[in-house]
Structures are given as C-alpha cells and as structure tokens.
C-alpha cells in the first residue's frame, strides 16, 4: 500500500523526492511549517522541473520550483486556485471563529474579501496612525523603565508582542488592552496561549490536518482551539457591538468599519459570529507576524551596527524635518522600508503559500521549453509555493544569509522576478493587512531606534520555532539595550564627513 502511495507523483510524470518506503518523510516532519521538506524538494528540482512532488505522511503535495509557474498559480490563473486549504479542515459548528478570511473557501471567501477590502485601503489605514503612535509612546516608556540608566538585556519579542497586541486590540476591537503596562492583561494571556502551547506535538498536529476529513468522521472530538478562547472573543465582540450600537459610538478602527458593513442592511451584511471571526483573524494574523518582524529586524540591526546607524540617521533627519512623527514622515523613510523588506525576506512569516486547484488543472505549456505541459494537477492537491526556499535561493539573492537592505533599492528590485519577494504573498489572496502591518512595524521601529541603541553584549542568538505556522522566534530575542547618548547624531554626522 505504501509503495503505491509513494508512487503517486511518478505516475503523474512529476519528479519526486522519494520517501523511505515505510516511514515516508516522517522524520523530516520536524516543523509545522514544513520548511525543511520544502527546502529539500526545491533544492533537488529547481532548474530541472517547474513542479516537483513530495509527501506529507502518505498524502502527495506539489512544490513549485519556478517563479513563472508561481505567478500563474497566484495571479494569472488565480480563479482556478482560490482556496489555500481543503474545506474539510473547516468546522464552523465547533469553532465559529474559524469562519474568517484566511480559512474561507470559494465564493464565500470572494464575497467577504470584496466586503473587507475597502477597510484596508491606505486612506482608511491612515486614520489609525495616531492610535498606533499613542501605543508606541507607551512602548517607549516601557522600554525606558526596563532599560534604566545602566542599560539592560531585554527579551524584545515579549515586549514587542505586547505593543502589537495593544495596537491590534485598539484598532480591531476598539479596546485598550494595556498589556504593555500589565503583562497579565487578558489579551496578552490569550495571545500567548495561542502561540506557545508547551504540550503541542508537531507531527500529531500535522497528521490531524493532513487527514482532517477522516478526523471529522470520528466520534471523538479533538478541539484545536480552546473553548474559553472562543468565548472570550465572542463575548468581547458582542459587548463592543452592543455598546457602540447603544451609545452610537464612532471610532476610527476596524470594528467601526465592520459595523458599518453590518448596517448596510443588505441580507449579505455580517453576523456577529462572522464579525467576531474577522476581528479574531486580524488579532491572530496581525500581532505575532508584526512583532516577530520587528524582533528579527532589531536582531539583524544588532548584528549589523553600520546598518543600524544608517537607519537611525534616516529616522532622526526625517523626524527633524517634520518636527514629529507623522504618516507622511514615516512614508519618507525609504531605507526603513528596505530594512523591513529585507527582514521579511530572511524571516518570512509563512514558509510557504498554499493553493488548491478547484478542478483538475493542466500545467500551461505556452513556452516550447516546457516539456511538462501534459502534467495534470488533480483537484484538491495541495500546491506549496516555498517562500522561504525562494527567499534563500542564491541565484535570486546572492549570499542569502547576509542581511542587505540594499537588495530592496528600487533598481535592484526591478531586476528581479516580480515574485521573488513573497513576504505578504501575492495575487488576489495576498495579505489583506499588509499596509496596516507595515505601518505598525515601522512606527514601532522608528520609536525605538530614535531613543535606544541595540548592541550585542550579552545578547543571544534566537532560533525559529518549529511548533507553529508562523515563523516566530522560539525562546524570544534577548538583546542589549541602552538609552541613546544625547550626542549620538552629531557624533555620527562628524564621523561621516
Ligand atoms: C508584518 C506583518 C504581516 C505579515 C508578514 C503577513 C503575512 C501574510 C501572508 C504571507 C499571508 C498569506 C498570503 C497569501 O497566501 O498569498 C497573509 C494573509 C493574511 N493576512 Fe497578513 N501579514 C501581516 C500582517 C497582517 C495584519 C496586521 C493583518 C490584519 C489586520 C493581516 C491579515 C491577514 C489576513 C486576513 C490574511 C488572509 C487573506 C485572504 O485569505 O484573503 N495580516 N498575511
């Protein structure tokens, strides 16, 4: 039976990473993000085939090794690849919060994405800028207390997670979480539980996801998400909705924009459960991705002091020109933008993007050099675009382990394939919150780099988690932080002359 399963790709005419005939790739499944398996498949077949096959337990998965094919799947033929997971994995009865944009399928996804997209335009996001800077002020105060007069080694990932939780809490739920001031705030506690479960077993979780269909039919229920968390979010959203509707409260936040959608009076308006699911995904997708991006950025800036100095110089000169931190000032900081991109290249939030063909799909063969135009991707097969492997491909990014923001100068970006950077995904199903995410990351980095120096003494090298989809630092990011000397800037300038 196993021999038959592991022959799937060969029978389809697709080159495959041959698994062990009994235990398959079991011992390679060390992480939920499958980075290692995808990297190995990419390395084995890149340049030889546009698509390669491998196996998750006995299930075949496809790995795209060619950026043109990635473009076809994510953008050109997107209508044939709308979903990122199988519909069997969605169990709304047991978990009403799972009905969010990231998980939804087909037409349901399309209708909701159309409704939510206007919420995330630059114009709307800009209104939230002052809410973010208010939280950033608290971040600076908290750092200042922790650092003291003598400086200290701080665990940044926790502090930055509290910053992004307070931002998302304020902008998505309209709630002041105060987790920066009070680490035991309920939001923080729930957020930590979502991402750090010490009892979590990677292979078991992968197994359940791979055979979700089978597990749904079993009489035993395995809860993937704690009931108390579901209750917490549903209660919070219901209370906020009631309060705002009763007292006609208006705020420039996602909740307000979602409530307007609810009031459109159309039958297609959002129910409270749907609304709760959306703010929940904004919370889950928005806080850990952004705090990790900031943590990794500060870690790289600590290792690369000249880049830290160059970035701080940009930040201080733009702030001086504008008098204070405004949206326009932030947008003027182009080197900061490059630093954020280079961080996402080295530490993408998702190791791969997944899409599933709704129908059997024949690979396009418009180019004569494609000898694989006969290959058919069967309906329902999971296709992985291996973001991390692409971001570390030395033919695309020479010396990929080096941190070089210059890679994202406009001229350098233009020379690469448009899909060489996939930090926020691509196509109609890319990250809906990318502008908001970038904004909270940038405001946080500006605030910290304008006031503090990050250095290596006593710092530790962080490692990437293996227990979650999002590539977060496992045991935090411990870095030496000192208040910036008052004469830092004049000193830096005199050294530049
Ligand atoms: C630095 C911060 C962030 C990163 C790196 C990031 C990354 C991503 C990636 C890679 C995807 C998958 C895209 C694809 O499959 O093509 C995604 C999807 C998504 N992200 Fe983000 N994200 C960030 C911040 C946010 C924020 C702040 C929000 C909400 C406020 C958000 C909400 C979502 C949602 C709802 C989806 C699913 C979109 C859909 O299926 O239509 N993300 N994100």
What does the DSSP assignment read for 24-56?
Answer: BTGGG--STT-HHHHHHHHHHHTTT-SEEEEEE
Rounded to the nearest angstrom, the distance between the alpha carbon of 328 and the centre of ligand 1 is: 24
Q: What average pLDDT score do residues 40-61 get? A: 92
Question: CB of 113 closer than 6 A to ligand 1?
Answer: yes
Going from the C-alpha of 217 to that of each of 50, 99, 211, 226, 438, the distances in angstroms are 36, 20, 10, 20, 41
Predicted ipTM of the assembly: 0.99
Rounded to the nearest angstrom, the distance between the alpha carbon of 383 and the centre of ligand 1 is: 18
Q: What average pLDDT score do residues 452-478 get? A: 81
Could you tell me which residues are beta bridge partners of residue 361? 377
In ligand 1, which atom is closest to the CA atom of 344? 5
Phi, psi values for residue 407, rounded to 5°: -60, -25
Question: CB of 195 closer than 6 A to ligand 1?
Answer: no
Which of 350, 415, 346, 358 is CA-nearest to residue 385?
350
Going from the C-alpha of 28 to that of each of 45, 314, 420, the distances in angstroms are 18, 44, 26
Phi, psi values for residue 24, rounded to 5°: 55, -135
pTM of the model: 0.92
Closest residue to atom 1 of ligand 1, CA basis = 290
Asked whether 383 and 81 are in contact (CB, 8 A), the reply is yes
Asked whether 80 and 359 are in contact (CB, 8 A), the reply is yes
Q: Residue 208 has which token pair?
A: 């359940």
Higher pLDDT: 39 or 371? It is: 39
Question: CB of 258 closer than 6 A to ligand 1?
Answer: no
Probe ligand 1: pick from 83, 284, 285, 346, max atoms within 8 Å of CB?
285
Rounded to the nearest angstrom, the distance between the alpha carbon of 288 and the centre of ligand 1 is: 11
Rounded to the nearest angstrom, the distance between the alpha carbon of 435 and the centre of ligand 1 is: 10
Crossing angle of helices 156-168/272-303, nearest 10°? 150
With 60 as the cut, is the pLDDT of residue 267 above it?
no
Give the span between the Cα atoms of 383 and 352, in whole angstroms.
10
Rounded to the nearest angstrom, the distance between the alpha carbon of 271 and the centre of ligand 1 is: 22
Asked whether 361 and 376 are in contact (CB, 8 A), the reply is yes
Q: How many CA atoms lie within 13 A of 83 on its CB side?
A: 20
Q: Residue 476 has which token pair?
A: 């935090």
Question: CB of 289 closer than 6 A to ligand 1?
Answer: yes
What local confidence, expressed as pLDDT, does residue 357 receive? 96
Question: CB of 104 closer than 6 A to ligand 1?
Answer: no
With 60 as the cut, is the pLDDT of residue 223 above it?
no
Q: Residue 319 has which token pair?
A: 């702030």
Question: CB of 429 closer than 6 A to ligand 1?
Answer: yes
Pairing of strands 59-64, 51-56: antiparallel
Q: At CA 360, angle to CA 354 and CA 362, rounded to 5?
A: 90
In ligand 1, which atom is closest to the CA atom of 348? 5
CA-based diameter of the chain, in Å?
A: 74
What local confidence, expressed as pLDDT, does residue 59 receive? 86
Question: CB of 349 closer than 6 A to ligand 1?
Answer: yes
Which of 73, 113, 109, 104 is CA-nearest to residue 382?
73
Rounded to the nearest angstrom, the distance between the alpha carbon of 432 and the centre of ligand 1 is: 6
Helix, strand or coil, per DSSP, at residue 228 = helix
- Tens digits of per-residue pLDDT, 359-416? 999 998 766 566 676 789 999 999 999 999 999 999 999 999 999 999 999 999 999 9
Which of 416, 348, 411, 428 is CA-nearest to residue 67?
416
Asked whether 15 and 47 are in contact (CB, 8 A), the reply is no
Rounded to the nearest angstrom, the distance between the alpha carbon of 455 and the centre of ligand 1 is: 31
Give the span between the Cα atoms of 361 and 379, in whole angstroms.
7
| 116: confidence class by pLDDT, cuts 50, 70, 90 | confident
- Tens digits of per-residue pLDDT, 187-203? 787 777 776 666 666 66
In ligand 1, which atom is closest to the CA atom of 172? 30
Question: CB of 444 closer than 6 A to ligand 1?
Answer: no
Rounded to the nearest angstrom, the distance between the alpha carbon of 11 and the centre of ligand 1 is: 36
How high is the mean pLDDT of the chain? 87
In ligand 1, which atom is closest to the CA atom of 349? 5
With 50 as the cut, is the pLDDT of residue 26 above it?
yes
- Tens digits of per-residue pLDDT, 60-104? 999 999 999 999 999 999 999 999 987 666 666 667 788 889 989
Asked whether 480 and 303 are in contact (CB, 8 A), the reply is no
- Tens digits of per-residue pLDDT, 126-181? 989 999 999 999 999 999 999 999 999 999 999 999 999 999 888 887 788 888 98
Going from the C-alpha of 96 to that of each of 17, 273, 277, 470, the distances in angstroms are 38, 6, 7, 22
Helix, strand or coil, per DSSP, at residue 125 = helix
Give the span between the Cα atoms of 66 and 112, in whole angstroms.
31
Asked whether 375 and 412 are in contact (CB, 8 A), the reply is no
Q: What average pLDDT score do residues 214-231 get? A: 65
Question: CB of 101 closer than 6 A to ligand 1?
Answer: yes
């Amino acid at each position: 039976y196993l021999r038959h399963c592991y022959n799937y790709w060969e029978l389809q005419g697709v080159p495959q990473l041959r698994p062990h005939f009994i235990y398959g790739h079991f011992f390679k499944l060390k992480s939920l993000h499958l980075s290692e398996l995808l990297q190995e498949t990419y390395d084995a077949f890149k340049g030889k085939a546009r698509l390669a096959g491998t196996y998750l337990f006995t299930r075949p998965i496809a790995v795209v090794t060619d950026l043109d094919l990635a473009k076809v799947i994510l953008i050109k033929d997107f209508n044939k690849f709308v979903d990122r997971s199988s519909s069997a994995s969605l169990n709304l009865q047991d978990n009403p919060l799972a009905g969010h944009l990231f998980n939804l399928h087909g037409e349901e996804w399309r209708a909701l994405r159309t409704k939510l997209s206007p919420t995330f335009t630059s114009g709307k996001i800009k209104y939230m800028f002052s809410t973010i800077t208010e939280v950033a002020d608290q971040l600076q105060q908290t750092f200042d207390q922790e650092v003291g007069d003598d400086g200290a080694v701080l665990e940044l990932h926790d502090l930055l997670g509290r910053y992004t939780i307070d931002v998302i809490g304020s902008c998505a739920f309209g709630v002041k979480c105060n987790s920066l001031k009070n680490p035991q705030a309920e939001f923080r506690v729930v957020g930590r539980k979502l991402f750090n479960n010490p009892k979590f077993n990677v292979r078991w979780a992968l197994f359940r996801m791979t055979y979700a269909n089978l597990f749904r039919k079993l009489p035993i229920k395995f809860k993937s998400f704690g009931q108390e968390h579901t209750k917490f979010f549903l209660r919070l959203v219901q209370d906020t909705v009631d309060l705002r509707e009763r007292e006609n409260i208006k705020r420039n936040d996602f909740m307000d924009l979602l409530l307007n959608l609810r009031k459109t009076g159309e039958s297609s308006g959002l129910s409270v459960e749907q609304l709760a699911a959306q703010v929940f995904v904004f919370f889950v997708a928005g806080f850990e991705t952004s705090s990790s991006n900031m943590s990794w950025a500060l870690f790289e800036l600590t290792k690369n002091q000249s880049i830290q100095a160059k970035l701080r110089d940009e930040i201080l000169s733009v702030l001086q020109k504008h008098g204070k931190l405004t949206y326009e000032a932030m947008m003027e900081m182009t080197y900061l933008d490059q630093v954020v991109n280079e961080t996402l290249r080295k530490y993408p939030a998702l190791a791969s993007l997944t899409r599933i063909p709704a129908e059997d799909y024949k690979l396009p063969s418009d180019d004569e050099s494609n000898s694989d135009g006969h290959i058919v991707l069967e309906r329902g097969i999971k296709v992985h675009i291996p973001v991390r492997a692409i971001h570390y491909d030395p033919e695309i990014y020479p010396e990929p382990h080096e941190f070089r923001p210059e890679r994202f100068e406009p001229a350098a970006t233009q020379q690469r394939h448009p899909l060489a950077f996939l930090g926020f995904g691509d196509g109609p199903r890319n990250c809906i919150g990318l502008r908001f995410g970038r904004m909270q990351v940038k405001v946080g980095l500006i605030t910290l780099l304008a006031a503090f120096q990050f250095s290596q003494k006593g710092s530790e090298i962080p490692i990437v988690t293996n227990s979650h989809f999002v590539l977060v630092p496992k045991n935090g990011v411990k870095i030496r932080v000192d208040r910036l000397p008052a004469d830092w800037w004049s000193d830096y300038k005199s050294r530049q002359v």
